[in-house]
Chains A and B, each alone.
Chain A
Amino acid sequence: MNSQFKLASLTLVAAAMLSACGGGSNPSSDDPPPARGTLELGLLAGAATADQIDAGTQAKGVQALSGKAACGVDVRYVYYWTRDPQGNPATASAAVLVPSGTAAVCTGNRPVLLYAHGTTTDQAFNMAQISTNAEGSLVAAFYAAQGFIVVAPNYMGYDRSGLQYTPYLNAENSAIDMIDGLRAAKTHLNAESAVKPSAKLLIAGYSQGGHVAMATQKVIERDYASEFTVTAAAPMSGPYNLVKLGDTITSGTVNAGATLFLPLMLTSYQKAYGNIYSAPSDVYQSQFAATAETLFPSKESITQLIQEGKLPADPTFTKLFGTGGLLTDTFRTGYPTSNFRKALQTNTLLGWTPKAPVALCGGANDPTVFFFNTTDAQADFGSRGKAVPASNLESAASMSWAGATTAATIAGGFAQAKAATSAAAGGGAAGAAAVQGAYHGTLVPPFCNALARGFFQSVLASQP
C-alpha cells in the first residue's frame, strides 16, 4: 500500500472517530450535572461580635434563655448543588454560622447543628442575613454564640435557588437539600475557616423545619450512615403526623396559617407527584385559581398579596373553605380519597425508629401546628421501644427529663411570656388573641430552642 493511502486512511479514520466521539449538540452528549453537595460559591458574608449578639438577645428579652454569648459569630454563606424532587439538578443556599473568638468553646473542631427553618413565603429569605432574619439571629445567639457551627439551609425555592417552587413538606427531598447543604458547608469550612466542623452532628428545626429535621435524621440514618452519624436530634413544633393534620383541617378545625400552608403544600405535591389536580381550578376557588399555583415563594409581602386579591382577606389565615375561601368544596369533599391525602400519608413521619437520641418540644395550645403531632410521634417511637421526651411548654412535668429546676424555669418563663404578651395587648379577649397570634411563631421558639440546646449539650457531654 502506498504511503499516501496509509495516510489517507489514517486521516479519514481519525476524522470519523473524532466526529463520532467529539460530542454533538444533543442532550445525550451533555456533561453530567454537578454532583450533589458541590459547592458553587462559599464566602464570608459578615460577622457579629459577642457584644452585638448580647445586645440583640437583650432587646428581644430572650437572654435568660440564650445565655450571654460565649463567642462571636462569623456569618458564612454557601451556594450549592442539590436535586429537585424529580432528581434534576437544582441550586440552593445555606447560612453557615461559625463561632469566633478565643474561648475554648469557640475554637478548634466544633459540633455541627444542621438547622431547618420554619415556613416562610418570602422568596428572598436568607438565614445568613442575621441582622434582619429573626430565625437566623435566634440560631446565631442560641447555638453559634455558644460554640456550635450552625448550617442552616434556606431550602430550594428561596434566596439564590433557581427552583421556581419550594418542595414544601416533601420529607425525602427536604432531607436531600439538608444533606447537600451540610456537604457544601463542610467543604467550605474545611477550605476556608479556622474553626472546623467536628464529626458530631446535631439536627434541629422548627415548625416546617421540625418536619424537615425529623425527615433528615430518618434519611441520614437510613441512607447516609457511612457518611454522617447523627449525634442527636431535636425537632420542634413540627407537623410530623401530616395526614392527621390534613384530616383535622378538612373536617373543620382549620389551623392558623392554613391559607399560606395549603398553596405551598399543593404546589409542592403537584410538582413532586403530578397527580394532585389536573388544573388549579380543581382545588382553588375561581378568584385564586389563576395565581395560587405559582404564588409562593413570593417577592411580595402577604399584605400585598391580600390587597391584590391573591389570598383570602383574613388576618388569621384560616379562611380555607366556604365563600371567599381559598379552596373549593369539591376539594374538601373529595379529600378522604384524594391523591392529596395520599401525598400527606407519604410524607407523614411516623412508622420509623430513630437511632440517635431525640427530644421533641412544642406547646400544647399551638394553634398553628397542633400539638398532637408531637405526642403522636412520641407514642409512635415509643411503640417500638424508642423512648423520646416530648416537652410541652405548658407543663413542667413534661420537661422533667431536663431536671426539675430547668423544667420549672422554662414552664414559668413561658407562662410569664404569655402573660406579658396578653397584657401588652390589653388583656382579656384581645390579650388571648395576641397570645394565639404569637404562640407558634414568637412565644414557643426561644423556649424550645433553650431546651434543645441543653439536650444537645448533655448528649455531647455523655459522648465525648
Chain B
Amino acid sequence: MKKNIPLILAASLMALAGAARAEEPAVGTHTVYVGLAHIDVNSKAAPLAGGSKQFPDPGPQIRVGNATTVGFGYTYRFAERWSGEIVLGVPPSHKIYGNGVLANAGQIAVVRQMPPTVFVNYHLGEWLPKFHPFVGLGVNYTYFEKKRSTPTGDAISGGPTRITLTNSWGAAAHAGFTVQYSKNWSLTGTAAYADVRSTMRSYTTTKDGVEELHTKINFRPIVYTMSLGYSF
C-alpha cells in the first residue's frame, strides 16, 4: 500500500498551493470529513501454541497485513484551542499471513475490524498561512467483526477452521494538520498510533477432534489519513 504515500503527498502540496488566508474555526464549529486511511500494521505475535504438531524454531507464526479504507468522522470545536473528534471508517479487512516456519504459506486468514476511536485534540494555532497543526490523545476500541480461515489456512491447520479474536481497548494518539481553505472547506492529514492487542484462537475440526491454537497479537498499527472536511 506504499502507493498511497505519494497520493497523500500530492494532495498536501495541492492543498498548500491553493492556500489563501482563512480563520481558525470558531468555537462551536462542527466538521464532518471523509477521506482515506491507510493502516500500516507492524504486528508482533508469539508462535502459535497448542495443537498436536510440533514445529522447529522459529515456530509457526502469523503476521497481519496492511489495509486501506475510507475513513470518515466528526470534529467539534468546544474551545478556542480544543476539539473533540470521533474517527470512524469503512471496516477494513486485513489479510493474515503465515510467518516463521509458515512463511511460505502466504495468506492463511482474513479479519475485518471496526476501530472506532475518540480523540481530544489540542490545536497549535496557524503556523503557516492556513496551516493548523494539532495533536490528540484518545481511546481506541477495535472490534473484530469477521474472521475467516482461507482454504490455505484450513489445509495447514488440518481441516475446517474457525477463528476468534478478542476485542481490544487501548490508548491512541495522533498528530496532524489542517489546511483551512475557507470557512467551510479544509483538508486534514494525520498519523496515528493505537494500542491494539488481541488473543487469536483457531479451532480446527479434524477427524480426531477439535485442535485449538492460540497466540497474542500486538498489532502496533500506524494509521495515516488524508481527509476533506466540511465545517458548519
> With A34-B106, A41-B55, A91-B156 in contact, is A22–B92 under 8 Å at CB?
yes
**CB pair B208 A160 closer than 8 Å:** no
> With A41-B101, A162-B156, A165-B207 in contact, is A11–B11 under 8 Å at CB?
yes
Asked if B93 is an interface residue, CB under 8 A from chain A, the answer is yes
Asked if B105 is an interface residue, CB under 8 A from chain A, the answer is yes
- What is the CA–CA distance of A29 and B146 in the complex, to the nearest angstrom? 14
**CB pair B104 A40 closer than 8 Å:** yes
- What is the CA–CA distance of A25 and B107 in the complex, to the nearest angstrom? 12
23 contacts between A and B (CB under 8 A): A4-B187, A12-B228, A14-B4, A14-B36, A15-B70, A18-B36, A19-B69, A19-B70, A22-B67, A23-B67, A25-B110, A25-B112, A27-B148, A29-B110, A30-B110, A30-B151, A31-B95, A33-B106, A40-B104, A40-B105, A41-B56, A43-B56, A164-B206
Cβ contact of B101, chosen from A3, A38, A40, A162, cutoff 8 A: A40
> With A4-B185, A165-B207 in contact, is A15–B35 under 8 Å at CB?
yes
> With A18-B36, A23-B67, A30-B110 in contact, is A3–B18 under 8 Å at CB?
yes
Asked if A199 is an interface residue, CB under 8 A from chain B, the answer is no
Return the 8 tightest CB-CB contacts between A and B, nearest first.
Answer: A3-B18, A31-B107, A162-B158, A294-B207, A25-B93, A89-B155, A33-B152, A25-B112
B105 to A: closest C-beta gap in Å: 6
Asked if B31 is an interface residue, CB under 8 A from chain A, the answer is no
Which chain B residue shows the least CB distance to A84? B155
**B-side contacts of A24, CB under 8 Å:** 93, 112
**B-side contacts of A39, CB under 8 Å:** 104
**CB pair A7 B34 closer than 8 Å:** no
Cβ contact of B90, chosen from A19, A33, A38, A90, cutoff 8 A: A19
**CB pair A11 B4 closer than 8 Å:** no
Residues in A285-316 with C-beta less than 8 Å from chain B: 294, 299
Asked if A462 is an interface residue, CB under 8 A from chain B, the answer is no
**CB pair B152 A34 closer than 8 Å:** yes
B7 to A: closest C-beta gap in Å: 6
A188 to B: closest C-beta gap in Å: 12
**B-side contacts of A160, CB under 8 Å:** 53
Residues in B129-172 with C-beta less than 8 Å from chain A: 146, 148, 150-152, 154-159
Asked if A55 is an interface residue, CB under 8 A from chain B, the answer is no
**CB pair A11 B69 closer than 8 Å:** no
Interface string of B166-194 (1 = CB under 8 A from A): 00000000000000011001010000000
- What is the CA–CA distance of A16 and B7 in the complex, to the nearest angstrom? 14
Which chain A residue shows the least CB distance to B226? A11
With an 8 Å Cβ cutoff, the count of chain B residues facing the other chain is: 53
- What is the CA–CA distance of A158 and B104 in the complex, to the nearest angstrom? 20
A125 to B: closest C-beta gap in Å: 14
**CB pair B105 A34 closer than 8 Å:** yes
**A-side contacts of B101, CB under 8 Å:** 40-41
- What is the CA–CA distance of A14 and B69 in the complex, to the nearest angstrom? 10
- What is the CA–CA distance of A29 and B65 in the complex, to the nearest angstrom? 14
With an 8 Å Cβ cutoff, the count of chain A residues facing the other chain is: 43
Write the residues of chain B forming the contact surface with A, with a CB cutoff of 8 angstroms.
1, 4, 7, 10-11, 14-15, 17-18, 34-36, 53, 55-56, 67-70, 90, 92-93, 95, 101-102, 104-107, 110-112, 146, 148, 150-152, 154-159, 181-182, 185, 187, 206-208, 226-228
- What is the CA–CA distance of A379 and B182 in the complex, to the nearest angstrom? 92
Residues in A302-354 with C-beta less than 8 Å from chain B: none
Interface string of A226-238 (1 = CB under 8 A from B): 0000000000000
> With A3-B17, A160-B53 in contact, is A33–B227 under 8 Å at CB?
no
> With A162-B157, A164-B159 in contact, is A7–B104 under 8 Å at CB?
no
Asked if A8 is an interface residue, CB under 8 A from chain B, the answer is yes
Asked if A88 is an interface residue, CB under 8 A from chain B, the answer is yes
Interface string of A31-59 (1 = CB under 8 A from B): 11110001111010000000000000000
B53 to A: closest C-beta gap in Å: 6
- What is the CA–CA distance of A215 and B146 in the complex, to the nearest angstrom? 43
**CB pair B14 A25 closer than 8 Å:** no
Residue among A18, A19, A38 facing the most chain B CB atoms (10 A cut-off): A18
Which chain A residue shows the least CB distance to B17? A3
**B-side contacts of A27, CB under 8 Å:** 148, 150
**CB pair B34 A12 closer than 8 Å:** yes
19 new A-B contacts at CB < 8 Å, known A14-B4, A30-B151, A164-B207: A3-B181, A4-B187, A6-B14, A14-B7, A15-B70, A24-B93, A25-B111, A31-B107, A31-B152, A33-B106, A33-B151, A41-B55, A41-B56, A88-B151, A89-B151, A90-B155, A162-B154, A162-B157, A164-B159
**B-side contacts of A25, CB under 8 Å:** 93, 110-112, 146, 148
Interface string of A184-206 (1 = CB under 8 A from B): 00000000000000000000000
- What is the CA–CA distance of A162 and B152 in the complex, to the nearest angstrom? 10
**CB pair B228 A11 closer than 8 Å:** yes
Asked if A10 is an interface residue, CB under 8 A from chain B, the answer is yes
> With A30-B151, A41-B55 in contact, is A10–B14 under 8 Å at CB?
yes
Residues in A386-411 with C-beta less than 8 Å from chain B: none
- What is the CA–CA distance of A91 and B112 in the complex, to the nearest angstrom? 27
Residue among A8, A14, A91, A294 facing the most chain B CB atoms (10 A cut-off): A14
**B-side contacts of A19, CB under 8 Å:** 68-70, 90
- What is the CA–CA distance of A240 and B148 in the complex, to the nearest angstrom? 42
Which chain B residue shows the least CB distance to A16? B70
